[in-house]
Amino acid sequence: MFAQPIATLRRDGESLVILDQTQLPWRVVERRLATLQDVADAISTMQVRGAPLIGCTAALGVAVALAAGDTDDVALNHALAVLRATRPTAVNLVWALNRMDARLRPLPFDVRREAAWDEAEAICAEDASICEAIGLHGLNLLRTLSVRDGRGLRVMTHCNAGWLATAGAGTALAPIYAAKANGLKMKVFVSETRPRNQGLLTAWELASAGIGHTLMADNAAGWLLMQGEVDAVIVGADRIAANGDTANKVGTVLKALAARAAGVPFYVAAPLSTFDAAVPDGRAIPIEERAAEEVLSVEGLDGEGHPRRVRLAREGTCAANPAFDVTPATLISGFITERGLIAAGDLPEFLRGIQT
């Protein structure tokens, strides 16, 4: 089983300790979340981020809220509503909160506190096992690709869908970790992922694991794909509609379009909790619009090694900042899930099967 080098989140008594991802890749800082508001703020400011990890954190957030206050339906409704409002796109958040609701609501008030911790910790443990399964199914896929190719495999990814984004090994990076553990030679192209630069988190993860990688500007993806430099693209997902349209970090659809033009397979790795059968297609997926400031400035280290935010654009410049985009199912070769690889065309039938 993959062991996270540093826990992305853990219970400590009646509070949580998270790895603050806004400080990475420069500093490793853990932060204690002792109240419902602490947990909600950590999710909305992206101290914790990545769809599965957001779900795990929200579930634990319900336990934190009940531990610190009342456990009646008013308190439960309040905790669920506050956490639900933190970020709109990743459906894992709603999925985890619905699961907490279904487990806790029928219980007498006096046993809800302990049950909340148990259920939330079960969600986290399951997430780690799910990542492991995605890794193994993805490894089988990578093996077929590398056999076909006959040399070290070159995979492109976007954003961060590694262990930092989950309670386990990750989703898109899980097959890469499994490949490394099984001696497959590979190289990973990591796109910077402006404006929040989650690609730097991916580069940090891969460097720590000793996996060869190359950081590239987001705009380099099309050229590298068209030049035949990439054998496969694997990304994570925040919400997958019933028809397979997939919301993921903004910039994903450009890679999918370029991959299709270049004849390179494009895979989405995600747990079943990321599939939203209630949403028929990508048009109904809510896309988070974040602060313009994220686009207008950039953060890095200054000459003394201190993190600094510097302004890029002139005062008064308008900026659009959609945090996600939707890749049409027609551009996706397959979904790597804990149940195996699902061809995009088979998805509607697969989803009907798991609902019954």
Active site members:
238
196 CA to centre of own chain: 13
What are the phi and psi torsion angles at 232 (to 5°)? -160, 150
Q: What angle do CA 320, 324, 329 make, to 5 degrees?
A: 130
- Least distance to ligand MRU from the beta carbon of 95, Å? 13
- Least distance to ligand MRU from the beta carbon of 292, Å? 16
- The helix-helix angle for 73-84 and 51-68 (nearest 10°) equals 150
- Least distance to ligand MRU from the beta carbon of 341, Å? 17
Looking at the Cβ atoms of 146 and 197, the one nearer to ligand MRU is: 197
Looking at the Cβ atoms of 67 and 168, the one nearer to ligand MRU is: 168
The token pair that represents 348 in the structure block:
């509607």
Counting every residue written for the chain, the total comes to 356
Looking at the Cβ atoms of 43 and 264, the one nearer to ligand MRU is: 43
Find where tokens 């998270």 sit: 18
Q: Give me the sign of the Cα torsion angle 282, 331, 49, 16.
A: positive
- Least distance to ligand MRU from the beta carbon of 52, Å? 5
User: Whose CB is nearest to ligand MRU?
Assistant: 236
DSSP 3-state assignment of 243?
coil
Looking at the Cβ atoms of 24 and 224, the one nearer to ligand MRU is: 24
Looking at the Cβ atoms of 67 and 155, the one nearer to ligand MRU is: 155
Q: Which of 52, 58, 39 is nearest to 101 (CA)?
A: 58
DSSP 3-state assignment of 37?
helix
- Least distance to ligand MRU from the beta carbon of 187, Å? 20
Single-letter amino acid code for the residue at 229 = E
Which residues lie near ligand MRU (CB under 6 A)?
A: 49-52, 90, 159, 161, 165-166, 170-171, 198, 236-238, 248-249, 323
Alpha helices in 163-246 (DSSP H): 174-181, 198-208, 221-226
